[in-house]
Amino acid sequence: MSNRAISKEEFDARAMSDGGMGSARDFFELLKPRVMSLVIFTALVGLAVAPGGIHPVIAFTALLCIAVGAGASGALNMWYDADIDAKMARTADRPIPRGRVTPGEAAAFGSILSVFSVMTMGVLVNWVAASLLAFTIFFYLVVYTMWLKRRTPQNIVIGGAAGAFPPMIGWAAVTGSVSIEPIVLFLIIFMWTPPHFWALALYRRGDYEKVGVPMLPVVAGEAETRRQILIYSLLLVPLTLLPAALGFAGWLYAVATAVLGAGFLWFAIGVWRSRAGAAQDMAAKRLFAYSILYLFLVFSLLLAEKMLGVAPMGPLSLS
Amino acid sequence: MTEQDESKRHEILAPVWTEEQLKRRRQRNLAIAWTLGALMVLFFVVTIVKLGGNVANRTF
């Protein structure tokens, strides 16, 4: 052990690398609050449309666990991806690249919240929902972040499943099981993810290229990406009509979703017809923005029918 | 080890927190305290909800 006394500057530098500099707000940022809000909303819809009743306190607990679990996987994702986050304009301001939180702190924070959210869900809600939540965190961290993201342009196609699980977890929180209805909700988000992220990747391709993440526009080119966006959009729109066809959504949902779907196809065709350059970037930005609104409205319609008591499966029951 | 060496060792190991670090540590500790308090309330309320009217129906 060295007996050399260290200067204040040296100590501060060590403290930065050893941690202890992050504020509570920095740790909250690790939870990716914007992503979390969409996760909470889709989980709420899964929970609301499920048959049977759930006590409001248990429903709140389930949503809290899903939110914390999603946040935990976000923190673990930031821990693993800190090297590439530092090089991309969109992510360079995150707490780890900025040096406000060390990778070790983020890993510990994410791991503790992951375990805690799953255990709390199991003990206070049910173990089916807890198992699904655990699998979602595993899928996002290991399958998507560690395995697929840097290896294949199919990263967000398969990895998108992680973002599609929350309504299924919400459903399982009420029923203690999984049936065809939550699988349809899963498939809607699963099929929505590729056009949503490829639209982003089209106008942010420089970022992905710089850090070597094989997003579709980087690997297969922009023309192929535009074609794939259209194919997935054509598959997505009929899929969103399945809840009505299967009888767990009503006419209000069917008509409004068909109109919203036509809008989605309009923007997807706009991207497909555009050519590389500013026009393509503009079309991709429009589709990206509309895709967020689209998913929000499709799920809002399911919720609205339930709240209004016009859903085929009856009104929302908080028992 | 002489007394002087001992005091030097403490000089090296003693944490020298800056004002900013202390402020942030206080913030983090408060956030953890509030979270633990909220969890305590949540677990209590959920326990009552799950027991419901059966809370008084124990067999001795």
| Nearest CA among A49, A279, A268 for reference residue A173 | A49
Among B8, B21, B42, beta carbon nearest to A21: B21
User: Do A84 and A141 reside in the same domain of the chain?
Assistant: yes
The residue out of A148, A178, A208 marking a domain boundary is: A178
Query: Which burial class, exposed, middle or buried, applies to A101 when counting CB atoms under 10 A from its CB (0-12, 13-18, 19+)?
Result: buried
Segment A142-165 shows an average pLDDT of 92
For residue A15, pLDDT over 70 is answered with no
Each residue's pLDDT tens digit, A97-112: 988 899 999 999 999 9
Mutate which: B5, B27, B35, vs A, most A CBs within 10 A = B27
User: Tokens in use for A195?
Assistant: 């056009």
Contact flag A27-B28 (C-beta cutoff 8 Å): yes
For residue A127, pLDDT over 50 is answered with yes
Each residue's pLDDT tens digit, B4-57: 666 665 556 666 778 888 888 899 999 999 999 999 999 999 999 988 877 667
Residue A264 forms part of a structural domain:
yes
d(CA A172, CA A41) in angstroms, rounded, equals 15
Residue type, B47: T
**pLDDT mean across residues, chain A:** 90
User: Do A174 and A184 reside in the same domain of the chain?
Assistant: no
Which of A84 and B15 is assigned the larger pLDDT? A84
Residue A306 forms part of a structural domain:
yes
User: Do A294 and A208 reside in the same domain of the chain?
Assistant: yes
Crossing angle for the helix pair A56-80 and A33-49, to the nearest 10 degrees: 150
Segment A212-218 shows an average pLDDT of 90
User: Tokens in use for A6?
Assistant: 């260290």
Residue A11 forms part of a structural domain:
no
User: Do A132 and A174 reside in the same domain of the chain?
Assistant: yes
Each residue's pLDDT tens digit, A236-251: 999 999 999 998 899 9
Alpha helices in B1-60 (DSSP H): 3-13, 19-51
Residue A10 forms part of a structural domain:
no
Contact flag A20-B46 (C-beta cutoff 8 Å): no
Which chain A residues are closer than 8 Å to B4 by Cβ? none
Percent over 70 (pLDDT), chain A:
92
For residue A11, pLDDT over 90 is answered with no
Residue A16 forms part of a structural domain:
no
For residue A10, pLDDT over 60 is answered with no
Residue B1's contacts (CB-CB under 8 Å, 6 or more residues apart) are: B9
Query: Which burial class, exposed, middle or buried, applies to A282 when counting CB atoms under 10 A from its CB (0-12, 13-18, 19+)?
Result: middle
User: Do A190 and A167 reside in the same domain of the chain?
Assistant: no
User: Do A193 and A270 reside in the same domain of the chain?
Assistant: yes
Domain count, chain A: 2
User: Do A187 and A148 reside in the same domain of the chain?
Assistant: no
Which sign, positive or negative, has the C-alpha torsion B35, B41, B42, B43? Answer: positive
| Nearest CA among A205, A206, A232, A207 for reference residue A216 | A205
Segment A138-156 shows an average pLDDT of 93
Confidence class for position A318, pLDDT limits 50, 70, 90 = low
For residue A24, pLDDT over 60 is answered with yes
Segment A115-126 shows an average pLDDT of 96
Among A3, A21, A124, beta carbon nearest to B12: A3
User: Do A163 and A225 reside in the same domain of the chain?
Assistant: no
Segment A36-43 shows an average pLDDT of 94
Which of A87 and A2 is assigned the larger pLDDT? A87
User: Do A77 and A116 reside in the same domain of the chain?
Assistant: yes
| Nearest CA among A173, A186, A176 for reference residue A42 | A186
Percent over 90 (pLDDT), chain A:
74
Residue A80 forms part of a structural domain:
yes
For residue A21, pLDDT over 90 is answered with no
Segment A239-266 shows an average pLDDT of 95
The residue out of A135, A154, A178 marking a domain boundary is: A178
Which chain B residues are closer than 8 Å to A105 by Cβ? none
Specify the CATH number for the domain of residue A134: 1.10.357.140
d(CA A308, CA A315) in angstroms, rounded, equals 7
d(CA A271, CA A258) in angstroms, rounded, equals 20
Cα A46 to chain centroid, rounded: 15
User: CB of A287 within 8 A of CB of A267?
Assistant: yes
Most confident of A92-96, A137-141, B15-19: A137-141
Residue with tokens 């036509």: A262
CA distance B6 to chain A (A): 10
For residue A4, pLDDT over 60 is answered with no
How many C-beta neighbours within 10 Å does residue A184 have? 19
Contact flag A22-B42 (C-beta cutoff 8 Å): no
User: Do A126 and A267 reside in the same domain of the chain?
Assistant: no
User: Do A235 and A245 reside in the same domain of the chain?
Assistant: yes
- Identify the domain containing residue A121 by its residue range: 22-178
The residue out of A178, A212, A242 marking a domain boundary is: A178
Residue A227 forms part of a structural domain:
yes
Which sign, positive or negative, has the C-alpha torsion B43, B44, B49, B53? Answer: positive
User: CB of A43 within 8 A of CB of A63?
Assistant: yes
Residue A206 forms part of a structural domain:
yes
Query: Which burial class, exposed, middle or buried, applies to A83 when counting CB atoms under 10 A from its CB (0-12, 13-18, 19+)?
Result: exposed
d(CA A121, CA A66) in angstroms, rounded, equals 8
User: Do A167 and A186 reside in the same domain of the chain?
Assistant: no
pLDDT at A312: 75
HEC string of A259-291?
Answer: HHHHHHHHHHHHHHHCCCCHHHHHHHHHHHHHH
Segment A249-275 shows an average pLDDT of 95
